[in-house]
């Protein structure tokens, strides 16, 4: 089969396409990160940039070696006691998935049974906490990528804190796409491979001052995920608990610098434009957005229901093999029913959306779902005029 493209474009909601200047950062000469004091200074300067990105003043930020799942498990392992009740805000694949982590560490998950096509209603969270007064901790996924859902972090965090509970937030797919205020939150987890456009391999952990009492009380006995070791070894002795990957750190620093050079307000506006353009394209294609209302949809990913008689894998395979564009299916109960286009970080641009949606449009046409590609592209372009 003849290839009609020269370079594949990744438009999945993570891992994302890595831009050339970030790739170049990976070519920096590797150092001995256990002994190099200059690298430790570099790492600390990078941590300071995350304080600014997260509007965070009091507490600790650590960048840990391991894909973002490491951060999610670390948060639960270090804070949940045996038989502790944890409220799970479960409106999505990853939101619901927190219950499995809680079970692994012998906690008791209290699920809310929320609708996956709607954002989590802060009032329902309030009622759930009023009903379950013995809950100590709440988990929330800010952007649940399998459903393309963005939850109202600010309102939910206020309610959780008004009940005197701890809040753990998965912000892996929202950091760098929308403004986040580290306020009324106890742990935020980020990852390198989403809007930060760095290869998978780094977890960002931001911890409030208050959560340390709980961490000490739980007294997690593992090593690699032990947050107390970071406090003891890195903060007090200026040494990492394990050997750090410096090249990924350099790439992450380049990514953060790019955000600040663009200006965070401009970054967030760019993602809102990408969301609007993506939704316009869906309407022109007559495809149904998975979130029930547009306002629930994330600025970093668009999830849509596949038309009848269109097979998920066949569609995505054609888009990739013929047009060189990778889009995503979904997970869990949405697998085979929902497809997704990522527009986070580097992906959130007019150029990339035109390529992604022209490929989707043409592939759908070839599979019998008729539409006008030119009109789809016009629907995207008009957002940027």
The whole-number average pLDDT for the span 239-259 is 96
The predicted structure's pLDDT at residue 1: 60
* Residue ranges per structural domain of the chain: 9-17+264-384, 20-260
The whole-number average pLDDT for the span 194-216 is 98
C-alpha–C-alpha distance, residues 187 and 265, integer Å? 24
The whole-number average pLDDT for the span 199-205 is 98
DSSP classification of residue 307: P
The predicted structure's pLDDT at residue 3: 75
pLDDT digits 0-9 by tens, 35-82: 999 999 999 999 999 999 999 999 999 999 999 999 999 999 999 999
pLDDT digits 0-9 by tens, 260-298: 999 999 999 999 999 999 999 999 999 999 999 999 999
The whole-number average pLDDT for the span 88-102 is 97
Q: Which of the listed CATH numbers 1.10.357.10, 3.40.710.10, 3.40.50.300, 3.40.640.10 matches domain 20-260?
A: 3.40.640.10
C-alpha–C-alpha distance, residues 378 and 284, integer Å? 9
pTM: 0.96
The answer, yes or no, to whether residue 109 has pLDDT greater than 90, is yes
pLDDT digits 0-9 by tens, 297-344: 999 999 999 999 999 999 999 999 999 999 999 999 999 999 999 999
- Residue 111: φ, ψ to 5°: -90, 155
- The encoded tokens of residue 250 equal 């350099």
The predicted structure's pLDDT at residue 82: 97
pLDDT digits 0-9 by tens, 122-153: 999 999 999 999 999 999 999 999 999 999 99
Q: How confident is the model at residue 5 (pLDDT cuts 50, 70, 90)?
A: confident
Output the average pLDDT for the chain: 96
The answer, yes or no, to whether residue 31 has pLDDT greater than 90, is no
C-alpha–C-alpha distance, residues 319 and 336, integer Å? 16
Question: In CATH, what is the architecture of 9-17+264-384?
Answer: Alpha-Beta Complex (3.90)
SS3 19: coil
DSSP 270-336: HHHHHHHHHHHHHHHHTPEESSSSGGGB-SSEEEEEPPTT--HHHHHHHHHHHH-EE-B---GGGTT
């Amino acid at each position: 089969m003849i290839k009609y493209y020269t370079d594949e474009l990744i438009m999945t909601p993570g891992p994302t396409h890595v831009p050339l200047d970030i790739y170049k950062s990976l070519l920096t000469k590797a150092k001995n990160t256990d002994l190099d004091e200059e690298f430790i200074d570099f790492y600390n300067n990078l941590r300071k940039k995350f304080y600014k990105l997260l509007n965070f003043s009091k507490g600790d930020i650590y960048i840990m070696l391991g894909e973002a799942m490491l951060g999610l498990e670390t948060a639960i392992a270090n804070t949940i006691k045996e038989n502790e009740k944890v409220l799970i805000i479960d409106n999505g694949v990853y939101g619901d998935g927190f219950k499995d982590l809680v079970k692994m560490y012998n906690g008791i998950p209290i699920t809310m049974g929320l609708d996956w096509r709607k954002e989590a209603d802060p009032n329902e969270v309030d009622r759930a906490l009023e009903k379950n007064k013995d809950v100590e901790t709440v988990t929330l996924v800010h952007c649940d990528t399998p459903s393309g859902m963005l939850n109202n972090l600010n309102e939910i965090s206020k309610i959780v804190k008004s009940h005197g509970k701890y809040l753990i937030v998965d912000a892996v797919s929202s950091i760098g796409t929308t403004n986040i205020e580290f306020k009324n939150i106890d742990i935020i987890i980020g990852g390198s491979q989403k809007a930060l456009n760095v290869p998978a391999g780094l977890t960002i952990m931001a911890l409030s001052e208050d959560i340390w009492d709980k961490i000490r009380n739980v007294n997690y006995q593992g090593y690699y995920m032990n947050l107390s070791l970071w406090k003891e070894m890195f903060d007090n002795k200026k040494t990492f608990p394990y050997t750090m990957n410096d090249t990924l750190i350099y790439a992450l620093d380049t990514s953060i610098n790019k955000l600040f050079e663009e200006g965070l307000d401009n970054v967030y506006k760019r993602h809102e434009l990408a969301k609007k353009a993506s939704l316009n394209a869906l309407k022109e294609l007559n495809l149904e957005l998975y979130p029930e209302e547009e306002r629930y949809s994330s600025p970093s990913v668009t999830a849509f229901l596949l038309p009848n008689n269109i097979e998920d894998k066949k569609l995505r395979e054609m888009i990739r093999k013929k047009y060189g564009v990778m889009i995503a299916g979904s997970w869990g109960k949405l697998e085979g029913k929902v497809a997704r286009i990522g527009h986070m970080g580097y992906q959130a641009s007019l150029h990339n959306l035109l390529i992604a949606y022209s490929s989707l449009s043409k592939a759908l046409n070839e599979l019998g779902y008729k539409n006008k590609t030119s009109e789809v592209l016009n629907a995207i372009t008009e957002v940027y005029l």
